[in-house]
Amino acid sequence: MMHLAVRLARDESDLQAAQALRYRVFVQEMGADGPLVDHAAKLERDRFDAFADHLLLVNNAVPAGQPGHVVGVYRLMPQARARAAGGFYCDDEFDLQPLIASRRRLLELGRSCVDPAWRGGPAMLLMWQGLAEYVQRSGAEILFGAASLRGTDPQALAQPLSLLHHTHLAPPELRVRARSFQPMDLLALDQLDRKAALAQLPPLIKAYLRIGGVVGDGAFIDHAFRTTDICLILDVAQMSRAGRSLTGARAGVS
């Protein structure tokens, strides 16, 4: 952990290192693709990258510019930047009008991933602490973003989708809705196997739920990324005690 640090991307080299990690995780590991993915340079990128901040977890034991220097990334899109970009990334998948109508300060989280060699250790905690400091500095009040479950067959994901719908649905005033609507209430509450459902949820989604995260209505099937996406929403004012303790932690983001 002594070699790990969290900071914002500072230049094009940093951005390309983030995109290279995203390529290794999203394209090579998960099989994703997209119109702006650069297979020749092995970069996963899109048009929103130029407008966002990119939170990096760097391993200072590896020289900058070398593979293994950037081991975690988080793309952060403040509301003002989204206006300049013509909207949030999530706009294509979810109707975000309830969030926009709230007139609260929004921050979209996306493209988060950690190098496989650093998963399950302190890396994600450091990323969350860096994110918490960014949230404090920006004054963001509502955090949201698309979170993915692997696969595009809703029936195979009936347990986790139904659990999210029945137990973590956002309040009506913040309840965004999937545009190509895939119902999530595929099983009745009494048909849920909570243990099986939780086992199918990615660790990042479970982490958000633990600190008070909720989900929008309906899922979106992303065939390019081969995922089923939900919209996760976190009201900073309603964050759990565990989440507030993270918000108070400092990771030296610069």
pLDDT in tens, 90-124: 999 999 999 999 999 999 999 999 998 888 778 88
pLDDT band at 254 (very low <50, low <70, confident <90, very high): very low
Pull the structure tokens for residue 75.
Answer: 């793309």
Q: Which residue bears the tokens 């660790």?
A: 203
Please say if the pLDDT value at position 242 is more than 80.
no
96-105, 162-171, 231-240: which has the minimum mean pLDDT? 231-240
Please say if the pLDDT value at position 245 is more than 90.
no
For a pLDDT cut of 90, what percent of the chain falls above it?
71
* Most confident option among 31-35, 112-116, 157-161, 241-245: 157-161
pLDDT band at 240 (very low <50, low <70, confident <90, very high): low
pLDDT band at 167 (very low <50, low <70, confident <90, very high): very high
Number of H helices, E strands in the chain: 8, 10
Transcribe 172-236 into DSSP letters.
GGG--EESS-B-S--S-GGG--HHHHHHHS-HHHHHHHHTT-EE-BSBEEETTTTEEEEEEEEEG
pLDDT of residue 244: 55
30-39, 88-97, 107-116, 178-187: which has the minimum mean pLDDT? 30-39
Domain boundaries, the chain: 4-248
3-state SS class at 34 = coil
Mean of all residue pLDDT scores within the chain: 90
117-126, 135-144, 154-163: which has the minimum mean pLDDT? 117-126
Please say if the pLDDT value at position 85 is more than 50.
yes
Q: From residue 107, give the alpha-carbon distance in Å to each of 39, 140, 196, 233, 236.
A: 30, 6, 32, 10, 11
Amino acid at 249: A
3-state SS class at 24 = helix
pLDDT band at 241 (very low <50, low <70, confident <90, very high): low
pLDDT of residue 33: 82
Please say if the pLDDT value at position 73 is more than 90.
yes
Domain spanning 4-248: CATH 3.40.630.30: yes
Please say if the pLDDT value at position 250 is more than 50.
no
